[in-house]
């Protein structure tokens, strides 16, 4: 079993600056549920003072959203996201990995399974291009929101979108199998030569980590020079945690939205909505607690659209607002930019 990378684990100076940024610490006010508390647990695991089956280790490795908000405020440059991957690689082996996560990982583990997910969905489809650029179709996005890839291609007809491209492996990397997650990203990079454009912030961060920043563009980074429709609507944004905290991309989607309507900045736009990959399925109650405060904020903002840049956030916020019978419509930024949202939809 691999240990932690010493340079990653040793970097924390226990200053506690990260505590106010952490959504789970905000819920509990318990040090153990903070980034610093979790790093202390990781050190105890590494040093052998806590056994691998200690309940606090299992609980905290799963309670953490993996949102990486702690990284952005850390003066010591702790790479918490990388530490969490190494922790779950050790912690979530065999039956310790939640069953639902295991099922999701199995569903996307090979290109043909991913292709099956979107078989009867009208996502974008073209032949591959020998040199790119390519549009990444994603695994669950192609099944749940096929209209997003169609909008991306309407906006950028030059993007090739072959159906046989597989999953980027972010789900594996974040859930205890980082080696397979990296292998899947590398394979996707071989299947899609040239620049890879993605409509999923989480996938963008993982792919960039494996393939290099130059090869990967999230759609709002790629779309800077487009003619955009004026919607006349009030629009807010929910950031993608990994896009914002991992890749530092947050100005770009705002700049596009400001050109399409009256942009409204939500106070918590940059903090996690509780979707966090598989988190909403693994820890539905904690996920709902995090989501609820955000939904209050969205409803109070008097907006027409809530733009998203990640399919997990899309699902989480759409379901939450639907339960409340809210009139706010959740749309992917690419749909707004491509003019795919009609005024009658408001
Ligand atoms: S993770 Fe960073 S901010 Fe948090 S306690 Fe450690 S050094 Fe301080
Ligand atoms: S990744 Fe998010 S939830 Fe986890 S410790 Fe960091 S800030 Fe807290």
Dihedral angle, C-alpha 158, 191, 68, 235, nearest 10 °: 20
Q: Which ligand is nearest to the CA of 244?
A: 2
Instruction: Give the mutation target among 20, 61, 66 for probing the ligand 2 site: most ligand atoms within 8 A of CB.
Output: 66
Does the structure show a pLDDT above 90 at 124?
A: no
pLDDT over 90 for what percent of the chain?
A: 84
Q: What is the pTM of this model?
A: 0.93
Q: Whose CA is nearest to atom 2 of ligand 1?
A: 74
Q: Which atom of ligand 2 is nearest to the CA of 241?
A: 2
Q: Whose CA is nearest to atom 8 of ligand 1?
A: 15
Does the structure show a pLDDT above 70 at 344?
A: no
Q: Which atom of ligand 1 is nearest to the CA of 73?
A: 3
At residue 210 the predicted structure's pLDDT band, cuts being 50, 70 and 90, is very high
Whole-number mean pLDDT of the chain?
A: 94
pLDDT (average), residues 49-53: 91
* C-alpha 313 – ligand 2 centre gap (Å): 17
Helix (H) or strand (E) holding 281: helix 279-282
Structural domains of the chain ordered from first start: 6-94 (1.10.1060.10), 101-222 (no CATH), 233-345 (3.40.50)
* C-alpha 63 – ligand 2 centre gap (Å): 9
* Buried/exposed 110-134: b ≥16 CB within 10 Å, e otherwise: ebeebbebbeeeebbbeebbeebbb
Does the structure show a pLDDT above 90 at 119?
A: no
The whole-number pLDDT of residue 264 equals 98
Q: Which tokens hold the place of 5?
A: 């990378």
Who lines ligand 2 at CB under 6 A? 21-24, 35, 38, 64-70, 80
pLDDT, tens digit, 9 for 90 and up, residues 211-259: 999 999 999 999 987 789 999 999 999 999 999 999 999 999 999 999 9
* C-alpha 82 – ligand 1 centre gap (Å): 14
pLDDT (average), residues 301-323: 97
Q: Which ligand is nearest to the CA of 88?
A: 2
Does the structure show a pLDDT above 70 at 276?
A: yes
The whole-number pLDDT of residue 98 equals 87
Question: Left (φ > 0), alpha (ψ -120 to 50) or beta: where does 127 sit?
Answer: beta
- For residues 235 and 336, is the Cβ–Cβ distance under 8 A? yes
Residue 185 or 107, more confident: 185
């Amino acid at each position: 079993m691999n240990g932690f990378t010493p340079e990653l684990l040793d970097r924390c100076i226990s200053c506690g600056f990260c505590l106010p940024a952490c959504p789970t610490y905000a819920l509990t006010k318990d040090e153990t549920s903070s980034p610093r508390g979790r790093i202390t647990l990781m050190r105890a695991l590494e040093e052998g003072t806590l056994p691998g089956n200690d309940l606090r280790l299992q609980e905290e490795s799963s309670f953490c959203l993996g949102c990486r908000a702690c990284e952005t405020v850390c003066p010591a440059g702790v790479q918490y996201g990388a530490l969490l991957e190494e922790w779950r690689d050790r912690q979530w082996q065999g039956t310790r990995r939640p069953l639902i996560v295991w099922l999701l990982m199995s569903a996307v583990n090979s290109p043909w399974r991913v292709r099956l997910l979107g078989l009867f969905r009208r996502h974008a489809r073209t032949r591959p291009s020998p040199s790119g650029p390519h549009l990444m179709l994603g695994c669950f996005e192609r099944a749940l929101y096929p209209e997003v890839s169609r909008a991306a291609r309407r906006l950028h007809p030059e993007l090739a979108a072959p159906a046989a491209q597989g999953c980027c492996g972010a789900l594996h990397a974040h859930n205890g199998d980082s080696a397979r997650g990296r292998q899947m990203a590398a394979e996707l990079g071989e299947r899609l030569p040239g620049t890879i454009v993605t409509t999923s912030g989480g996938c963008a961060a993982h792919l960039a980590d494996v393939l290099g920043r130059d090869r990967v563009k999230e759609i709002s980074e790629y779309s800077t020079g487009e003619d955009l429709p004026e919607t006349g609507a009030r629009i807010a944004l929910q950031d993608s945690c990994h896009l914002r905290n991992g890749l530092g991309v947050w100005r770009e989607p705002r700049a596009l939205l400001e050109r399409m309507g009256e942009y409204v900045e939500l106070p918590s736009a940059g903090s996690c909505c509780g979707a966090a990959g598989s988190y909403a399925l693994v820890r539905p109650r904690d996920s709902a607690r995090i989501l609820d405060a955000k939904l209050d904020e969205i409803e109070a903002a008097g907006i027409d659209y809530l733009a998203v840049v990640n399919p997990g956030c899309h699902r989480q916020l759409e379901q939450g607002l639907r339960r409340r019978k809210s009139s706010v419509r959740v749309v992917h930024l690419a749909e707004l930019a491509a003019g795919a949202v009609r005024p009658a939809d408001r």
